[in-house]
Every structure is written in structure tokens, then in C-alpha cells.
Amino acid sequence: MAARVGLSHALLASSSLARNPPPRARLLPYPTLLPLPTYRRSVSASASALPSLRRRRPFAARAMSQPPEAAGSPYAAELAAAKKAVALAARLCQTVQQELVQSDVQSKADKTPVTVADYGSQILVSLVLNMEVTSGSFSMVAEEDSEDLRKEGAEEILEHITDLVNETLAEDGSFNISLSQEGILSAIDSGKSEGGPSGRHWVLDPIDGTKGFVRGGQYAIALALLDEGKVVLGVLGCPNLPLTSICNLNGNSSGDQTGVLFSATIGCGAEVQSLDGSPPQKISVCSIDNPVNASFFESYEGAHNMRDVTGSIAEKLGVQAPPVRIDSQAKYGALARGDGAIYLRFPHKGYKEKIWDHAAGSIVVTEAGGIVTDASGKDLDFSKGRCLDDLDTGIVATNKQLMPSLLKAVQEAIKEKNQAPSPL
């Protein structure tokens, strides 16, 4: 096996690191990249379904076309890289979800689950962005870090993650590289940026909706770009979301037509396309102006949302349809293409919203003609670091026609909850 060496300009030139290397080479922050021929996947029980992966129609990580508006955007290169990164991460995530075993799921300090796919997705997104976006310094605010993988006893899962990432890279063929275990850890830790109001920062949730992912439900790979504190680009990869409306399916897909990629660039609108690379199509939020005819999305997990508040809001609006409950920012994508009219997010007291849980989804909705605010009607502020620190109570999203009545109902519902006597 070739020696593990640092990635220099000479190595970049000599090892065919990319099929179409950019004019200006980027020094990656991973010290242990290897030429692809040195890699051989080890055979394990969790990887035994590789032949079935090859039989599926692969996600087209290298063939994500863009509409003319996006192509003329100052963020065109970033959008292309983001779509490629999310599509490649989606391939790994789908593989893991299909073959999920209990050993692939760990629990973080906050008791939320994390899988090998969370890590693998973050690694692939970081790698593709570093390879494809050649201007400026690289900064990424992401959910995962390598702390747990560096502990004694994590050797097996680290090896499994390394195998999964390198197999995905080999299957895709865009980059003639392989990552060692130290390179894997370094790639994960490239997401430790704190963000903020200055410069450009990528914002990533490698798997938004991990509980949905574990149970075989909806999840999303959510990637956004902040520029001087503003979200200017967002991509949502939703491998289990159907290409048709989910408003009557309560989050469950049917048939074989699943796998959706939503994308939006500031000033250019929002689009949707299949994850296997179909041409993007413009999308817009629904035009319903009577809340009686509206339907609303909320979290599948009751622990993620105060359902007494959302139920009260729906009642005040006169909403007749039952809530559509699905995991992840797939709700934002479904709202953006008109599957429903309202999205309500009211976490329990004390929970701090993270910017990666809303950055990509919010721009997809706003560029589709919708509005996303906190409970008081203020725009979400992604410039304060890793959390939405100035958030008032919850998050709501809808079209421009329904927002005034929605905010009125929200304020009334919150006031009533605050005035209600304590059950203790």
C-alpha cells in the first residue's frame, strides 16, 4: 500500500485527484488522501448488499443541470458544487438506510441518535465542496464532530465509515482518491466553524431527521451557504420523498418514484429535480388564501413539537385537514412545491434551534415565493453563530396570503398557553 502523505500541489497534479481539476488547485485540509487504486473495500456483514446497490439506478452526483437563472448567478459554481455534494451524500445515506444494523447507530451526549451515515454524509459534502469550490477559504458549520470516533472502542465503526465513504467515492468515480481513517476524522472536523456575520460559511446538517432515517422514514441532507450572515443558497436532498405530492400520504412515499433534490439561490427562485438527475423544474408555494382549505406540516416526533400549540393554531385558523407529520427539512421542500400550505415548528421550552436545521429549507421556501419567520413575524437571523439565538418561541412558514392570519393565530395560541395554569 502506498504511504500516507500530505496532499500537496504535486500530489494533486500527479495522482489525477479529479477528472476535471479546477484551474486553481485547492489545498485540502485532509492530510491523508491516497490514490484510489490503493483502496480495497473490506467485506463485512453490513456491506453485504453491495450488488443490490449496483443494480439500482444511481444518483447522478455528476450531472445536476441548472436553469438559466441559476447559471447566471454569482453563486453558480457554489450551487453546482452543493448539488453534487448532496447527491453524493444521498447515495451513501440510502445505502446505509437499506442495510441499517443496530451497530451503525450510536447515541450522542444529548441522547439523540447518530449513524455512520451522519458521519459519512458530512465527510462527502466536505470533500466535494473542498474539491469543487476553489475560491476563498473554506468554512463549514456542521452538526457532527469526530470526538466519539476518536475514543477507545470506536475503531470498528471508524473502519466501517471509512469503507462506506471510499466505496461511495469509487462507485461515483468523480474523484480518483481514497481517504484514510485520519483523513476521515479530519474531514468530519472541517465542520467545526462557528459561522457568524462575516465571510462565507457552508451550513450542513448531514442527516436532518436521524430518527426518521433510523426508522426508514423521511430525512434530508441539508446544505446552505451564508454570505455575510445571509443565506444565499440552499440544497435539500430528500432520498425518500416522492416526486408527487405527499399531502395525502402523511409522509409516506408510494411506488418507485422517490428521491428529490430541492435547490434555491437568492434572487433566482427555487427548483426541484429527481436525485437521479432529471432537469430542474421551477416550483412555487401554493396560492391558497383561505385557511379553511389549508393543510399544515409539523414534526413526526411529538417530542420535537408542542402539539397543543400547533393544534390550537390550526383550530383558530379553521384548518380542516389533519396535520401532515414528517421528519426533517423535507417539510420545507414539500411546502415550497405546494404540497401543503403551512409549516409549524414549536419546540419545547429550553430547546435552542440550530442554524443547520433551517438554513437550507428556509431559502428554498422563500425563493419559491413563501415567507419564513419566527412566531413574532421576524425574519430568521443566521448570523449569530451555530444557534438561532434571537428566535421568538417557534418558526412558521406559509405563503404571503396566509401569513397575516397565521401570525395572529400564533400569537393568540401562545398567549393562551402562557396564561394557562400549571398542571402541577
User: How far apart are alpha carbons 236 and 91 in whole angstroms?
Assistant: 14
- Could you tell me where the beta strands, DSSP code E, fall in 129-219? 140-142, 177-179, 200-208
Confirm or deny that 207 is annotated as ligand binding.
yes
Confirm or deny that 205 is annotated as ligand binding.
yes
What is the widest separation between alpha-carbon atoms in the chain? 71
pLDDT of residue 294: 95
Q: Cell for 130?
A: 473542498
CB 264 within 8 A of CB 363: yes
Distances (CA, A) of 97 to 91, 216, 242, 302: 10, 7, 17, 22
CB 396 within 8 A of CB 407: yes
Q: Cell for 75?
A: 453563486
Q: Is 389 a catalytic residue?
A: no
Domains for the chain: give ranges and CATH numbers: 33-39+61-283 (3.30.540.10), 291-419 (3.40.190.80)
Give 119's contacts (C-beta < 8 A, 6+ positions apart).
144, 149, 161, 184, 188, 206
Secondary structure element (H or E) that encloses residue 396, with its range: strand 395-399
Global pTM?
0.84
pLDDT of residue 70: 60
pLDDT per position as a tens digit, 385-424: 999 988 888 999 999 999 999 999 999 999 998 887 765 5
pLDDT per position as a tens digit, 104-158: 777 777 656 678 999 999 999 999 999 999 777 899 999 999 999 999 999 999 9
Residues in the chain with pLDDT < 70? 1-71, 101-103, 110-113, 247-256, 302-304, 422-424
Mean pLDDT, the chain, integer: 83
Order of strands, sheet of 220-227, starting from the edge strand that comes earlier in the sequence: 140-142, 200-208, 220-227, 230-242, 258-265, 269-274, 281-283
User: How far apart are alpha carbons 189 and 46 in whole angstroms?
Assistant: 25
Q: Cell for 54?
A: 449496483
CB 201 within 8 A of CB 193: yes
pLDDT of residue 113: 65
- DSSP states along 207-243: EE-HHHHHHT---EEEEEEEETTEEEEEEEEEEEEES
Dihedral angle over CA of 68, 70, 72, 74, nearest 10: 180
Give 260's DSSP letter.
E
User: How far apart are alpha carbons 417 and 130 in whole angstroms?
Assistant: 47
Nearest CA to 187 out of 106, 128, 117 is that of: 128
Distances (CA, A) of 131 to 100, 174, 205: 29, 10, 19
Q: Is 118 a catalytic residue?
A: yes
End-to-end Cα spacing for the chain: 66
User: How far apart are alpha carbons 67 and 283 in whole angstroms?
Assistant: 12
pLDDT of residue 141: 98
Give 410's contacts (C-beta < 8 A, 6+ positions apart).
313, 375, 394, 396
Instruction: Check 104, 118, 189, 327 and give the catalytic one.
Output: 118
| Pairing between β-strand 342-345 and β-strand 296-299 as defined by DSSP bridges | parallel
pLDDT of residue 220: 98
User: How far apart are alpha carbons 341 and 358 in whole angstroms?
Assistant: 17
Nearest CA to 75 out of 261, 200, 205 is that of: 200
Burial class (CB in 10 A: 0-12, 13-18, 19+), 173: exposed
Confirm or deny that 379 is annotated as ligand binding.
no
Instruction: Check 32, 162, 168, 210 and give the catalytic one.
Output: 210
